Structure 1
């Protein structure tokens, strides 16, 4: 059996070693930068009337829905004004009822020929005037009631309360802020040196470093906006990454972004041997093969980048 196996190997001839032609490849040049978790929109819940905060319904970190009551502001002058408007409307209502009775009696006397048409016309005019005054008084009261209702400070959108600006008992003017609310849509905000301004664009992919924010956060994201304003030598871009909703606004994380591409030589790892701390590859020449020392660079999905030792057109033999 051994002789048969040996004979078959001799007849099969020598085993051809695998070869690899050295060609240039495009490699993305990535840069590590810090990004912060930010809300797409940061909104302010403001007062609509002046007064004193008598109820405060939220605290920092609370989640709110759009239209939720954040606080209630009471203007102590509103109650007496509403009471006065209500009394005026009630008085005019009583006068109108009396005027209508007078008009009814005048019309009855006119049909019997006791009074002239002029008296009836005067009674009708008095009723019309009182109806107009009563409608105006009721509208004035409705305005005051609506102003009192506007003491409710409403959340402008759904999100998380970042900061409560005014504690209970604060005296507020119209338009003053009560709470800062971050919308429930979060993203990563990147700050890059201005030299990379023209090398990034919407739709570019970024990579989130490891599990910096936890396993539920996506490992990759996409740039959704590049801001056209450069400040202090830096440009800002926003990236969409899934799973950011439960993290702190302003939390920092390292991300990698492609800022350029360059041509490099990449060879499979199997063609490299390491001895005494040096890396070697076997180069095929016209006279046979010889080993050369190479300088390794970045590991990629296709192999290892070669920084020095090889040139385009070289042919490698697997050791």
Structure 2
């Protein structure tokens, strides 16, 4: 212990005896307001999360999407088949064939009736009855064709399409499953991605929409507080943060976010004004026109106007002249 104290004392004495760096300049140390940041976790979420639902009940015979796939709006995701519709269409086709045969026969009867009327063999009333029969059969055929178009529309609704462009977040079914109308086949997330965070309600009045937010990823990037929701849930305020180039590979992934919650005064000096000797930090000041090295305890770093500034916790006071290297 005595040897350690002696080494520290020697280092301090040596540092105090070191001459100042050539080409130095001074500035008066004044308190500067710095931002207090609160670290919270946010989740990557899609702005729109829409399920692609089945419009037809039946068997899922084809599924062409899995979790994580990128899809385009209107892209085919799955196909559902209801075999009963095929049987109904076959029955309608048979009805159409029968009605067409009856119509051909009725039209032939109408043609013969018109010839007989010209000869005076038949009556006008008989001819009107034949015309009515042709019209009835024609209308029946049109009605049956309309029923068939309804079935064709139902069959086409067996194709499940992507409701928007984005990424498939969840596919809860598998090929071969029996699905009901309205059941979700896949959930698509799109419309852009953002960070959603929950902050304790005691900080509700400390941030506003448009505030700059720091996001800790591989490197520190900045985002903008886009929306603060007015309803407090479970004692927390919900807010959305917009970030350019946000990685959407993992939706609901947690990301460390730092929020500005308060400001406080601090003494800041440029990083190059701090010298480290034998594990101790020194800052050179001027006293009576002479340079003196003062032992300090440094804090966290702050970026001020693009310059790296370090906070001095103890060792200096406001109003002192600090010597910095002019490089």
Check whether the contact 1:28–1:262 (CA below 8 A) recurs between aligned residues.
yes
Q: Which moved more, 1:227-236 or 1:241-250?
A: 241-250
Instruction: Name the Cα RMSD after superposition.
Output: 3.1
CA distance in 1: counterparts of 2:291 and 2:223, whole angstroms: 46
> Does the C-alpha gap of structure 1 residues 160 and 289 become closer, same or farther in structure 2, counting only changes over 3 Å?
closer
Once the two structures are superposed, residues 51-78 of structure 1 have per-residue CA deviations (whole angstroms, 9 ceiling, x without a partner) of: 1112222222322222222222111211
**Aligned counterpart, 1:199:** 206
Check whether the contact 1:281–1:294 (CA below 8 A) recurs between aligned residues.
no
SS across alignment from 2:168 = strand
1:108 to 115, 118, 139: 115
SS across alignment from 1:137 = helix
- Unpaired runs of 5+ residues, structure 2, are 1-21
CA distance in 2: counterparts of 1:284 and 1:270, whole angstroms: 20
Once the two structures are superposed, residues 26-69 of structure 1 have per-residue CA deviations (whole angstroms, 9 ceiling, x without a partner) of: 32222222222222222212111111112222222322222222
Mapped pair 1:318 → 2:323? yes
SS across alignment from 1:168 = coil
Mapped pair 1:227 → 2:229? yes
- Unpaired runs of 5+ residues, structure 1, are 1-14, 213-217
SS across alignment from 2:52 = strand
Aligned length: 298
Cα deviation, residue 308, structure 1 = 5.0
What TM-score do the two structures reach when normalised by structure 2?
Answer: 0.78
**Aligned counterpart, 2:78:** 71
1:254 to 242, 253, 256: 256
Check whether the contact 2:68–2:249 (CA below 8 A) recurs between aligned residues.
no
> Does the C-alpha gap of structure 1 residues 308 and 137 become closer, same or farther in structure 2, counting only changes over 3 Å?
same
CA distance in 1: counterparts of 2:155 and 2:290, whole angstroms: 96
Greater fraction of residues in strand: 2
Q: Which moved more, 1:293-302 or 1:227-236?
A: 293-302
Mapped pair 1:93 → 2:100? yes
Cα deviation, residue 100, structure 1 = 2.1
Once the two structures are superposed, residues 104-139 of structure 1 have per-residue CA deviations (whole angstroms, 9 ceiling, x without a partner) of: 222333333333322222222222211211111110
Mapped pair 1:84 → 2:91? yes
Q: Which moved more, 1:287-296 or 1:180-189?
A: 287-296
**Aligned counterpart, 1:305:** 311
What TM-score do the two structures reach when normalised by structure 1?
Answer: 0.80
CA distance in 2: counterparts of 1:92 and 1:26, whole angstroms: 90
